[in-house]
Amino acid sequence: MQLIRSHILVCAGTGCHASKSDEVIESLNKWLIEEKMDKEAKVIKTGCFGLCALGPIVVVYPEGAFYSHVKPSDAEVIVKEHIVKGRLVTRLLHDDHKPTGEVAASLSDTDFYRSQLRIALRNCGIINPESIDEYIAFEGYSALAKALTEQKPEEIIDIILKSGLRGRGGAGFPTGRKWQFAAGAPGDVKYVVCNADEGDPGAFMDRSVLEGDPHSLLEAMTIAGYAVGANQGYIYIRAEYPIAVERLQIAIQQSKEYGFLGDNIFGTGFKFDLEIRLGAGAFVCGEETALLTSIEGNRGEPRPRPPFPAVKGLFGKPTLLSNVESYANVPWILQNGWEAFDKIGTATSKGTKIFALGGKITNTGLVEVPMGTTLRTVVEEIGGGCPGGKAFKAAQTGGPSGGCIPASLIDTPIDYESLTAIGSMMGSGGLIVMDEDNCMVDIARYFLDFTVDESCGKCTPCRIGTKRMCQILDKITEGNGTMEDIELLEDLCKHIAKNSLCALGQTAPNPVLSTLRYFRDEYEAHVREKKCPAGICKHLLTYTINDKCIGCTACARVCPAEAISGKVKEKHVIDPAKCIKCNACMDKCKFSAIEKG
């Protein structure tokens, strides 16, 4: 058997794929053949490494060299210099990376990875997600084998209970109790369902797990089926995730061929099968009862609870429903023991949490940290802070259902209770960073506008109430708001949160409530001074030309509204009646002669 000397790992997640990582893979293979190194070096397509801002990423083992922003044209030099001659291509190395020669160093030798602990993401960026053999080589399906051949269903549920694992989809309900309820519900037919809908703006945690390690979900759902007494499972995933869907389909087929899905798994007599159901991208279908309704072939609308899905769920049968990240932790817990998981995190929030780090942050990407890690660690150490030397202003956690955390609370530990206490929530894991140039009133309006669009319309508080709130925010950002509007906004928030049918409506006011709580002065500036402190709300902006103007005419030439006039080499003037506040003049001026206020 030919010994492989070098393994070239290339990220093939959605982000890197969009940056032509597939062409990088093709070019690497071409040059390995050209240099007659294709028997000694192997190119491996992987899932997301996490540092999406630097993609496409290529990591070469055993050196652990971490190459970033790799182009197809760079494949030649990587092969000729690194693979053939053993010399690092320093111009492609990530700035903070110092190869140590140890395989494990590739992910831990940078500031981005140093504070992370990858459990749900343990195989992402390491194995080929389309190879069941590589998953098995990393202890894949060993937890399932142990569960079916050595443990009783109640023993597995007890392990999940003792681990302290809580649902990673938003509410943080104890996972073991969910399993317990479903197992104890009467009935011969039960279902296991995975919520892979992931509709929060800027969120891509579940997608990355499915693209990088689909077999971990299959293994976990099969274990769950055995534990609660279900023989059929469904994965509900949005159709906008084509790569994840394709890799799930491949994984399911491979798992069936190896006997890990289907009849008589591991010769135990237990049978379990999985099917994929595609969602149409409705945010409300992230709510569990709406999701189940959609799988049944009906319009995705929430149902009143109780009864809860564990008692009466899919097709009226007891149903266990969790999201991708929740399931992804299960094989690790069974392999390593509940005690190992229990040691990670805080007293009430165990294990790790994945965050999709985006917005005004240097290192956009996927982050997995122990519960209790502070927001400062995520933003400043892992994320690298706000680019351009801008000051950190706030972070939004929990997506449209979450709240904005101000800079004054940057040392808040990230766990369920701490985030709830300050008016935010864990949510599924979106973490949007904002800097000094963000208007918090506009941010609240943005998230609420999203909720209005995504409301299913079934209940009046959500259908009408959120739209009315959005109208008030529009009025404030346009400079027509009053102090009474702010009071009305608060009253509507409380009413909608209390009376909406499902979690979408109940949590919709959170972005507004949190910004009112921590950034009320910005609301009042919009109302009293008719001014946007961040200079974002167009209706409240004015553009003027100061004495630095040398009359170069550059601004006048780019103005689409022809609002700027003046002679060459003389100070120009902006006509406020014509100005459409597009910022084109300010972007073009090289002399800081245009002011916005």
Residues 85-129 have pLDDT tens digits of: 999 999 999 876 554 444 334 456 678 888 999 999 999 999 999
Q: Is residue 1 part of a domain?
A: no
Let me know whether 205 and 328 are in one domain.
yes
Predicted confidence (pLDDT) per residue in 352-391, tens digit: 999 999 999 999 999 999 999 999 999 999 999 999 999 9
pLDDT of residue 97: 52
pLDDT of residue 504: 85
pLDDT bucket at 8, cuts 50 / 70 / 90: very high
Residue 20, domain CATH: 3.40.30.10
Other residues' Cβ atoms within 10 Å of the Cβ of residue 105: 19
**Mean pLDDT across 499-518:** 92
**Mean pLDDT across 194-208:** 90
Q: Is the pLDDT of residue 2 over 80?
A: no
Residue 540's identity, in one-letter code, is: L
Q: Is the pLDDT of residue 503 over 90?
A: no
Asked if residue 311 lies in contact with residue 185, where contact means CB atoms within 8 angstroms, the answer is yes
The residue ranges of DSSP E strands in 506-575, in sequence order, are 543-545, 564-565, 573-574
Domain stops at, among 341, 364, 399: 341
pLDDT bucket at 513, cuts 50 / 70 / 90: very high
Residue 159, domain CATH: 3.40.50.11540
Could you say which DSSP state residue 188 is in? S
Other residues' Cβ atoms within 10 Å of the Cβ of residue 441: 26
Token pair for residue 161? 């209970």
pLDDT of residue 575: 94
Token pair for residue 63? 């050196």
Domain stops at, among 317, 341, 365: 341
* Number of domains observed in the structure of the chain: 5
Residue 586, domain CATH: 3.30.70.20
Asked if residue 579 lies in contact with residue 543, where contact means CB atoms within 8 angstroms, the answer is yes
pLDDT of residue 178: 96
User: Which residues constitute the domain of residue 369?
Assistant: 352-435
10 Å CB burial of residue 420 (0-12, 13-18, 19+) is middle
Q: Is residue 124 part of a domain?
A: no
Domain stops at, among 114, 140, 157: 114
pLDDT of residue 203: 85
Q: Is residue 347 part of a domain?
A: no
Q: Is 369 helix (H, G, I), strand (E, B) or coil?
A: strand
Let me know whether 326 and 179 are in one domain.
yes
The DSSP code sequence of 285-334 is: GGSHHHHHHHHTTS------SSSPTTTS-GGGS-EEEEEHHHHHTHHHHH
Residues in the chain: 597
**Mean pLDDT across 510-518:** 95
Let me know whether 478 and 574 are in one domain.
no
pLDDT of residue 171: 77
Average pLDDT, the chain: 93
Let me know whether 287 and 429 are in one domain.
no
The DSSP code sequence of 82-102 is: IIIT----GGGB-TT----S-
Token pair for residue 322? 């969790």
pLDDT of residue 101: 41
Let me know whether 253 and 293 are in one domain.
yes
Q: Is residue 86 part of a domain?
A: yes
**Distance between CA 154 and CA 151 in Å, rounded?**
8
Q: Is 44 helix (H, G, I), strand (E, B) or coil?
A: strand
The four Cα atoms 61, 62, 66, 69 give a dihedral, to 10 degrees, of -30
Give the residue, 93 or 341, on which the prediction is more confident: 341
